[in-house]
Amino acid sequence: MAFLIPRRGMRRRTVLRGLVGGAAATIGLPVLDAMLDGNGAALAQGGPLPTRFGLWFWGNGIRREHWTPDGVGAGWQPRAELAPLVEAGLRDWLSVVTGLEIKTASHPHHSGMTGILTGARYHQVGETRDTIVSTFAHQSVDQIAADHVAQQAPGLPYRSLEAAVCRFRGTDEGTTFQHLSHNGPNDVNPSEYSPRRMYDRLFGQGPGGPQLDLARRSVLDAVTGRIRALQQTVGARDARRLDRHFESVRAIERRLSAAPAECRVPDRPGDYPDVEGREQIAEKNAAHSALMAYALACDFTRVFSVMFSCAGSGVVVWPAGARNSLHQICHDEAVPQPTVHAAVVYIMQQLAVFLRTLRETPEGDGNLLDRCAILCTTELSEGNTHTNDEFPVLIAGRGGGRLRGGRHVRVDRANASLAGLSALRGAGLPVEHFGHGPGEVRDVLGELFV
């Protein structure tokens, strides 16, 4: 039976529900004109469209000679490792920050990881071999954001969402190496490695486990009648937007159903098994990108993190010509390390896929990337020397109009915590300070802001 919705009266968190094999299935809706004011820039019930905070992380650093742009301000030109982002048309949604350094400690991988994500020294748990075992001493930056969002918008389905692309390839150096999002010492929010399990969560299919391939019966099929009824009650532009939204969901289902379904533990995803010994990196990244865009567009969460690869990652970046783990190549390959450089270029291509997916998701009078502030970073500068100066940082998104984009900001030997606080305030969060002890800051990188 059709149901009527006033053209300007639909609530932001309207969802469609149905059944798949006796289980509840939920389809979230994007922002429609019927949910907005007459200008398309605010919600009809009052208040602005939401701004999201994000974290996108990769392990093992960069090669400075190919990373640091030529020129500063708006006139910068990318070198090879940042070129994929510019070539993807993302320049206006991206700022590069160089010259930052970790002020809290100096220990391979550990200090950079906790320094950039908490503004504090790592907490040492023990020792192993010739190194240490550590965890985060404080909350990671995404969970600081989640605390504030929970106060601003209580009742969101997810406090935060965490995804991971390249699977963890073991080290015994503590949660600092294995996990991105921390609530405190040894208290982690594990990233979801499997796109299928993330799909199950978002579409109300419950936790993962042995089950039939959900793509055999689409969640869209379960709500077909409600979709048609909804499209008859909204304007032409909303109807077209719903078509695009539901087609993107269908595309996610096709992508997941194209891979053999095997049930494995989350850190060994069964929906994208290795092909001839090679991890399906690009396929998993594209799937997670589409799912995260869906979750943000439907206001399931306003805080997210993507761990493309963990600290000290042993991922084999085979599309870049690597035959060994990236961590080991950083140690073994002679300078100028052409394979490491090629791997960073490839990783930035995958970041471009994620950011482009957000930019291509319309919202109100703009797109999702317009209303995000995303800290993109790694745990050290160059992997062969484990340096914590010249720390690689990108700030992506326009923060709902707070962030300029398109800048190269150079701040020689400044505290790397400035990046975290700038991203938090870029998301519109009233965070007074970030970091602890020598890592604490109370100011932001002013050139990033409008």
Express each pLDDT in 79-106 by its tens digit.
999 999 999 999 999 999 999 999 998 8
Contacts 24+ apart (CB under 8 A), 440-443: 440/119, 441/119, 441/415, 441/417, 443/418
Residue type, 304: F
Tell me the pLDDT tens digit for each residue of 15-63: 555 544 445 556 666 666 656 655 556 554 556 789 999 999 999 999 9
User: Where do the domains of the chain lie?
Assistant: 1-49+212-262, 52-197+278-448
Cα 2–Cα 234–Cα 12 angle in degrees, nearest 5: 95
Contact partners, residue 358, CB within 8 Å, separation at least 6: 289, 293, 296, 367, 368, 369, 372, 397
Q: Taking residues 150-155, what's their average pLDDT? A: 92
CATH 3.40.720, applies to 52-197+278-448: yes
Query: Would you call 161 exposed, middle or buried from its count of C-beta atoms within 10 A (0-12, 13-18, 19+)?
Result: buried
**Phi, psi for residue 202 in degrees, rounded to 5:** -70, -30
At what angle are helices 195-202 and 236-257 packed, to 10 degrees? 140
Q: Among 169-178, 190-199, 248-257, which stretch is predicted with the lowest mean pLDDT?
A: 248-257
Q: If you compute the radius of gyration of the chain from its CA atoms, what whole number of angstroms results? A: 22
Beta-carbon-side half-sphere exposure of residue 364 (alpha carbons within 13 Å)? 22
Q: In which region does residue 337 sit, left (phi positive, over 0), alpha (psi from -120 to 50) or beta (all else)?
A: left
| DSSP class of 3 | -
183 pLDDT more than 90: yes
Q: What is the mean pLDDT of the chain?
A: 85
Provide, rounded to the nearest whole percent, the portion of the chain with pLDDT above 70.
Answer: 78
Decide: pTM greater than 0.85. Answer: no
388 pLDDT more than 80: yes
pLDDT value of residue 155: 86
